[in-house]
Structure 1
Amino acid sequence: MEQAWLDARARIAARLVRWFPNREFFMRSEGHVRFLRVSTRLQASVAGGVALAVLLWIGVLGWALVGQILAGSNRQSLLTREAAVASAESRVSRYRANLDAVAGDLKRRQDFLEKAVQGVIGPIPDTLPKGTVSDSSGETARTVHKISLQMPEAAPLARIEARQIAFAERLTRFADDRARAASGAIRKVGLNPATVIADDARAEGGPLIRLGAGVDPRFLRLAASLGQMSAMNTGLAHIPNAMPASFQYISSGFGVRTDPIEGGAAFHPGLDFKGPKGAPIYAAAAGTVSFAGQRQGYGNCVEISHGHGLVTRYAHMSRITTHMGQPVTAGTPIGLIGSTGRSTGPHLHFEVRINDRPVNPRPFLEAPFPHVFPENHVVGRDAHHG
């Protein structure tokens, strides 16, 4: 091992001698000649120093170049970030500038929504029973004030939100008031409002599409109240309240009477409306024709099922103008006044039956249903209401 090291040194020394042989120089100065001898070792040392200096110089140049590249890259990154910030600030500025336009558009939509709702259900009274509906006017006023101080440009949006919440709560109170009035009207004719709603609810279906999380509970409360009002509205529409004919007078009432043909006391299960032969007969409420034909004692007869076990019967017609299975609404023509069956002259025999038991039709026809949901009763239909 030591011998190999000695051989390597010998080879290196031989190369240095070849590259840098001993050299002698002479210099003449003031008539004298001087000899300078430059050894191999000195030449190698000087060459090594020069090489080291060159390497250092190259290293410094390389570092400077790398520094310039890094500086350029950092500057480009900085410029990119500045451009992104400037772009974001520009967008924010545009959004802020457009907030007034957005607020104006939302205000117009809210105006349209309120007018559209009032066009369907009529004007909403300013004073309504509060019931269980929340009153957020104080909370929304504080929110508007806070936003106006912290973010003035968003204040118009906060005011529109406050207006929407106030309208939702007002409409909720309106729907609750309507539902209470309808419930009272249904009870007056001897029906249970809960049963009416339950019967309607059994005829529903469709895919389940849940509302997203985070829906304001005040709007969920509004949806529930509108659903209750709608159910009551549907229930009322199926309760006989429209006059079944334009009559001259009621010739015979409900209950015990003297039989017009055989004499003696007899039970009369309906009302008799005297009218001219051929005068139209109308459905007293929405429903489906469940019978159209002849029944013993009734002559030409039509029966309409209104749900909830409720049926109306129209008898002694001169002609039937409807058919089984036909859906009808209040005021739909279903036949003509006549005197078929057990009858002494042209009239309409009208019955209301609950679970096939006759009840007095007067409370149904005299109930103030049109005043509960007046928007449901058009002029043509109102002509048949008592």
Structure 2
Amino acid sequence: MKNATVGRVSARLRSWFPDREFFMRSEGQVRFIKISARTQMIAAGAVAAFVLIWALTMAAMAISGYLSQRDRLSLLDREAKVTTAESRVNAYRGDLGRQVGDMNRRQDFIEKTVQAHMGDLPKDAQAGETVSDSASEAAATIKKVSLAVPEAAELAGIEARQLAFIEGLTRIADRRSAAAEAKLASLGISSAIALAALDDKDAQGGPLILMATAADGSIDPRFQRFGLSLARMDALERSVAGLPQVLPANLEYISSGFGFRANPFTGGGGEFHPGLDFKGPYGAPIYAAAPGTVSFVGVRSGYGNCVEIDHGNGLVTRYAHMSRFRAVQGSRVGAGDVIGLIGSTGRSTGPHLHFEVRINDRPVNPRPFLEAAPDVLQEARGAHAAQSAR
């Protein structure tokens, strides 16, 4: 089969390239040139090989040109993308600058508003204070950031302002707490009673609204400390606000003080008087000395018609010898609200208000509480001096 195929191909080629004879006449002479089939096939093969080599060369050149053009276009495309990205970075840097400016202006607004209502925030640390001071750390951070990421230097500056601001707020909260604690101590009230409410988790609730200072939900310890200082300040100042600070009656004068006195009915012997007696006309109004909840309205032995107000933290005020009640048990009253009228019920020699301050059901002298409020007893002293001069 193979030999037959080769024979057919050979025969076909011979039919294409038969032996050829050429006659050439020159100067009267005739020459015969014979070109055999073999020679013709060799020549044809050489021409075919040349054409093939030329075609391959041209194809290679075309492919190379195409690849070069493609690489060039790709490079141009990458350069265009780099240029676009760089322009966007510049745009973001411009936006960052505007944002930094806005943030600085907002911080200025916050600081000036707080300053207008609270005064200058303390920057100096006092003995015994435990508030952090980030000034030196912040300065070092700004320096490092300026070298590593220059465009973020202003952001580091804003962070430093925020930390200094929150530390100043923490200091002022701690100092207000200390002032409230000192006032309570001067009246014999332990601040531990007021602060116990911070640990009492009974009767509390509401929606869960988390607070955080970082994207991961955490709170910077300095901000957390500020929150705790505010809670402490609020508890102590609420205790101070609950102290008797309003004269419970428009008095003529204090007719009997706290402590030892002679028996007002016999004039002899001695007895302990657990409050202050404010002389006044029958039916004159009696005022709540501090905000609180009315815890008792009724009659007590020796006191007659009596109203008691619970101010929290074990502090109670008692108002006795009333002619009429103007308060309802369980209601909230504010300082200065009318809760009754002066009378002479119970053990009494005439119309007056008997006023007591009790801490954990123990009577204490009401005078220091009233004197803790600015000028509250000046009227009483003036009235007493005028009565003595008559």
TM-score of the superposition, structure 1-length normalised? 0.77
Report the CA distance between 1:132 and its aligned residue: 2.0
Which residue matches 1:87?
A: 84
Residues 13/320 of structure 1: CA separation in 2 closer, same or farther (3 Å cut): farther
Structure 1: gaps spanning 5 or more residues: 371-378
Of 178, 185, 189, 1:187 maps to 185
Aligned counterpart, 1:373: none
- Check if 1:111 corresponds to 2:108: yes
Residue correspondence of structure 1 range 1-386 to structure 2 within 5 A: 4-18=1-15, 20-30=16-26, 31-39=29-37, 41-97=38-94, 101-125=98-122, 127=124, 129=126, 131-145=129-143, 155-202=153-200, 204-206=204-206, 207=208, 209=210, 211=212, 212=214, 213=216, 215-261=219-265, 264-329=269-334, 331-339=335-343, 341-342=345-346, 343-367=348-372
User: 1:333 Cα shift?
Assistant: 0.5
- Looking at structure 2, the residues matched to 384 and 113 of structure 1 have their Cα atoms a distance apart, in angstroms, of 42
User: Is 1:242–1:385's contact at 8 Å kept on the other side of the alignment?
Assistant: no
**1:288-312: CA deviation from partner (whole Å, max 9, x where unpaired):** 2223344454444332222223322
- Looking at structure 1, the residues matched to 98 and 87 of structure 2 have their Cα atoms a distance apart, in angstroms, of 17
State the one-letter code of the partner of 1:275.
G
Q: Secondary structure at the match of 1:257?
A: strand
Counterpart of 2:169, as a letter, is L
Distance (Å, rounded) in 2 between the aligned partners of 1:159 and 1:192: 43
Q: Give the superposition deviation at 1:332.
A: 4.5
What per-residue deviation string (whole Å, max 9, x for no partner) do you get for residues 32-72 of structure 1?
23233341x55555555555555545544444444444444
- What is the letter of the counterpart of residue 220 of structure 1? Q
Structure 1's 10 and 122: CA in aligned 2 closer, same or farther, altered over 3 A? same
Shift of 1:179: 1.8
- Secondary structure of 1:302's aligned partner: strand
Corresponding residue of 2:388: none
- One-letter code aligned to 1:13: S
- Cα distance in 1 for partners of 2:255, 2:45 equals 140
Question: Conserved in 1, the CA contact under 8 Å of 2:174 and 2:229?
Answer: yes
Deviates more, 1:158-167 or 1:140-149: 140-149
Would you say the 8 A contact 2:288–2:339 is kept in 1?
Answer: no
Residue 352 of structure 1 aligns to a residue whose secondary structure is strand
Task: Tell me how far apart the structure 1 counterparts of residues 295 and 90 of structure 2 sit (CA, whole Å).
Answer: 68
- Cα deviation code 1:205-239 (max 9, x no counterpart): 44272634565433333333233222322332334
* Partner secondary structure for residue 285 of structure 1: coil
% same residue = 49
Report the alpha carbon displacement of residue 177 of structure 1 after superposing the two structures with TM: 1.9
Give the TM-score, by structure 2 length: 0.77
Q: Is the 8 A contact 1:246 1:384 kept in 2?
A: no
Counterpart-to-counterpart distance in 1, 2:300 and 2:162: 58
Residues in 1 aligned to 2:290 and 2:70: alpha-carbon distance in whole angstroms: 83
CA distance in 2, matches of 1:91, 1:384: 74
C-alpha separation between the residues in 1 aligned to 2:139 and 2:377? 44
Letter paired with 1:320: F
State how far apart, in whole Å, the 1-side matches of 2:326 and 2:73 are. 87
CA spacing shift, 1:272–1:79, aligned 2, 3 Å: farther
Matched residues in 2 for 1:107 and 1:96: separation? 16
3-state SS of the aligned residue for 2:321? strand
User: The residue matched to 1:305 in structure 2 has which SS?
Assistant: strand
Separation (CA, whole Å) in 1 of partners of 2:291 and 2:314:
14
- C-alpha distance after superposition, 1:252-288 (max 9, x if no partner): 2233434434665443332222334454433333332
What is the count of residue pairs matched by the alignment? 370
- Give how far 1:82 is off: 2.6
Checking the alignment, whether the CA contact within 8 Å between 1:287 and 1:307 is kept in structure 2 is: yes
For structure 2, the residue ranges without an aligned partner over 5 or more in a row are: 382-390
Cα distance, 1:339 vs. partner?
Answer: 0.5
Q: 1-side partners of 2:58 and 2:298: how far apart?
A: 113
Contact 2:324–2:343 (CA<8 Å) still a contact in 1? Answer: no
What is the identity, as a one-letter code, of the residue corresponding to 1:251? Answer: S
Alpha-carbon distance in 1 for matches of 2:285, 2:45: 129
Separation of aligned partners in 1, 2:379 and 2:147:
60
